Structure 1
């Protein structure tokens, strides 16, 4: 008889994140989306917009038209994606927000992990 407290656990899938950023033109949004996927720091990206952003910047309330880029990556690849976005983005302080995916299709989540693997084939 096996002790249930010592039974092996099934391996867990990598944690997938959705990462949101914004930029001020559709061309810049496309460049961020395409560049992150080409660099394998994101498996895919969707671009939405325009959206209206209202925020305080340097003491004044601003309103701007922006495009949102929603990227999919794994928790282990997030630091590389964040570094890539900071280097590629032209904003002084770009929005970079990561949210964990708590549920998803197993095949899709595995695909995200495979596509963002540093050693994945081109």
Structure 2
């Protein structure tokens, strides 16, 4: 069932679970959205592009996303135009980092 995860983490985790008295399980995941805004509601930072800890881009993308959004909100006459432009300009970078995070999850190491 867990074969697609690859790497050393899943086998080590399953082995440790067999020996543990209790288990706390956490998961790293990504959600990809077709739009980052609806009307006046806008998702920003990790709530919108979910880089995950595997990408190492959380803080950087928070700043990278906030600066152009703030600029576009002051430059554009219409809110919808500002949000559409922001999405179009940032989405290729976000998509690239999301794909990289998925690739990097296989390099995570379990306990030594």
- The two structures have a TM-score, normalised by structure 1, of 0.21
1 or 2, which has the higher helix percentage?
2
